[in-house]
Each structure stands twice: as C-alpha cells, then as structure tokens.
Amino acid sequence: MIRTDSHLHTSFSSDSDTPMEEMVLAAILAGMESICFTEHVDPDFPDTEEPLSFMIDFDRYEAECQRLKAKYSDRICLLHGIELGIQPHLGQDCAEIYARYGDRYDFIIHSTHVVDRLDPYYGAYFAAYDDPKAAIRNYFQVMLKNLQVFRDYQTVGHLDYICRYEPAPRTPFVYDDYKEVIDPVLLHIIEEDKCLEVNTAGWKYGMEDPNPNRQILKRYRELGGRKITIGSDGHAPNQLAYDYHRLPDFLKELGFDSYLFFEKKEPREIPL
Ligand SMILES: [Zn+2]
Ligand SMILES: [Zn+2]
C-alpha cells in the first residue's frame, strides 16, 4: 500500500474547514508513514460568489506545522508545502512569494486553477465557449504559459483539472483532440526534470480515472516521462489517501514502477 500523501488541504486553505490536527490524527489512524500539507496559495484569485481568498497566513501556517511535527514526530513524518496557483501575469508575484517563504517548504505543487480570470470550478468558464473542446484546449495553452513563468516547483498538479468541470453531457476525452496543446506541456515537464502529479480526486469526482487521465499518463510515458508524485487532494479526513488501493495496478499497467516523495525538495523514490 502507498503510505504517503503529497497533496492535502486543511483549514489553512479557504475551501477546507478541517483542523490540521484532525488530518494528522486521521493519517496516523490510516497507517500513513508520511503526509505533506499543500495549502492553497492563489495570488490574485478572482472574486467568486462565496468570497474565498485562497491565500494563507504564512506565519500561522508555519507555526502550526512545526507544533504538530514536534508533537507527533514519533508517530508520523509531517511535511509541508504549498499548492501555488499560477496565472500568466503572476510570475513576479510568485517569485516574490518563493523568495520570502520558499525555503520553509518541502514541496511545491504548480497548479493552474484560474484561466482568463475564471476558475472552471464555477460554470462561467465553460459558458464563455460554444465548444467545450475549445475551452479545454485554452486551459492547456494557458498552463504552458504558467509553467514558463514560474519554475520553482517539484510537481504539476491535476493536469486535467479542467476536465473535472466540463458540464454534462461530457464528451469522451480523446487525447488526439488535444495533442497539439498537451504534448508541449508534457515535454516541458520532462525537459525541466519536474514531476507529474497523479491526483486521486478524479475518482472522488466520479471520473473513471485520477487526474490526469490514463491517456495523458500513457502519453507522458511515451514521451519519456517517468517521474510522478501521488496525492489525494483531500480537504477532509475521509478524503485522505482517497482510493489509493486502486493506484498500484493502475499505474503499473501504464508503465510506471515508482513514485517520488519530496522532503526539503529532495526526492525519495518509492517503488509501487
Ligand atoms: Zn488544485
Ligand atoms: Zn489541492
């Protein structure tokens, strides 16, 4: 069984109300060896119906992580990082955040949540397009720009995040429809020697695959990608290590034999 989770949120993220200590206790109970908190940091997040800032109090976050690390050091290895939400105009802002706080973190996830001032989580993004495929294509084009403007990260989060929110009826995903926009993203990740995250929230959202889906993971392997990280993107204790039992067979079938886990930004390779 996989006993690490490198993508977790608690009440330091504005879309979770789970106290961090509750998540730690759930992880101990679940027999996890190590977990890494990756709270949301999304500078310049657009206004939403429910006002969410997606920024953290960096110092309070640090203090609570250190307190819990010390308290539970004999029971679990606690790590912490951030999930940084990038937009093409935020290169400088993200560089400033990294210069100020980056040293504290074990692990940074590079995520694209906001495209053209809209988070696809809300309906307005897809509503702006007649063709959902065009909306999805645009997401990957923006992601490539985001990867170019900020490079101090270890893994790329939920690469096909956009597909979670395509309104019904969803058209079946066919890689060839998006090849010209996803191939450059995958090649960029490989050339930069970064990792691709396998995020089991896809299963939580009732999708057939984790994020990204098997066609994207297969293509990543074909292009020479080997490095993956694994996380549940859990926002509540019952989402920790979500559906992890499905992962080893799923990933081995696609040609992966190990995954990486980062401590102080140094990778540890763990066989599947
Ligand atoms: Zn995310
Ligand atoms: Zn997340």
Distance 83 CA to ligand 1 centre (A): 7
Distance 69 CA to ligand 2 centre (A): 21
Distance 40 CA to ligand 2 centre (A): 7
Q: What per-residue confidence (pLDDT) applies to 36?
A: 98
Encode burial over 14-43: b for 16+ CB neighbours within 10 A, e otherwise: bebebebeebbbbbeebebebbbbbbbbbb
Q: What per-residue confidence (pLDDT) applies to 50?
A: 74
Distance 231 CA to ligand 2 centre (A): 9
Distance 113 CA to ligand 1 centre (A): 6
DSSP bridge partners of 267: 262
Q: What per-residue confidence (pLDDT) applies to 190?
A: 98
pLDDT tens-digit map of 105-125: 999 999 999 999 988 988 889
Tokens of 235: 């926002």
Which ligand does the CA of 157 lie closest to? 1
Under DSSP, is residue 211 helix (H, G, I), strand (E, B) or coil? strand
Distance 160 CA to ligand 1 centre (A): 11
Distance 197 CA to ligand 2 centre (A): 11
Ordered by start, the domain boundaries in the chain are: 4-271
Distance 1 CA to ligand 1 centre (A): 24
Give all strands of the β-sheet with 195-199 in edge-to-edge order: 4-8, 34-41, 77-85, 107-111, 155-156, 195-199, 228-231
Asked if 7 and 83 touch (Cβ cutoff 8 Å), the reply is yes
Q: From 3.40.718.10, 3.20.20.140, 3.40.50.720, 3.90.420.10, which CATH number describes the 4-271 domain? A: 3.20.20.140
Distance 41 CA to ligand 2 centre (A): 10
CA–CA dist 127, 93 (Å, integer): 29
**Which residues in the chain show pLDDT less than 70?**
none
pLDDT tens-digit map of 193-226: 999 999 999 999 989 999 999 999 999 999 999 9
Q: What are the backbone dihedrals phi and psi of residue 204, each rounded to the nearest 5 degrees, phi first? A: -60, -35
Q: What per-residue confidence (pLDDT) applies to 74?
A: 98
Asked if 109 and 159 touch (Cβ cutoff 8 Å), the reply is no
